[in-house]
């Protein structure tokens, strides 16, 4: 945990999504869980993006990784077909 000033290090920070007051208790509960579990970073299953998605909406997903896996799968399918 850190202050906003320490986190930003004087750089601009953009808010991607604001948490509604209705959703805030669930987000706080997931944050406490994450701090207790201290899961290991995994580029495919538990990266920064998937963590934030899980924190905000309860579902660990990484659209960037999903796109890369689709592209990779398509390339492999083309390679096998030729």
User: What local confidence, expressed as pLDDT, does residue 29 receive?
Assistant: 95
**Residue of higher predicted confidence among 30 and 44:** 30
Find the domain containing 16 and state its range.
4-81
Exposed / middle / buried, residue 18 (Cβ in 10 Å: 0-12, 13-18, 19+):
exposed
Rounded to an integer, what distance in angstroms lies between the CA atom of residue 76 and that of residue 72? 6
Say whether pLDDT at 66 is over 90. no
Structurally, the chain folds into a number of domains equal to 1
Residue 62 has pLDDT above 80, yes or no: yes
| pLDDT tens string 9-40 | 999 998 878 888 899 999 999 999 999 998 89
Containing 6, the helix (H) or strand (E) segment is helix 4-8
């Amino acid at each position: 945990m850190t202050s906003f000033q320490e986190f930003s290090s004087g750089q601009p920070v953009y808010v991607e999504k604001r948490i509604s007051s209705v959703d805030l208790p669930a987000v706080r509960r997931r944050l406490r869980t994450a701090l207790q579990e201290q899961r290991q970073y995994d580029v495919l299953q538990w990266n920064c993006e998937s963590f934030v998605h899980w924190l905000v909406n309860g579902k660990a997903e990484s659209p960037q990784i999903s796109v890369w896996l689709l592209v990779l799968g398509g390339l492999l399918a083309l390679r096998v077909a030729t």
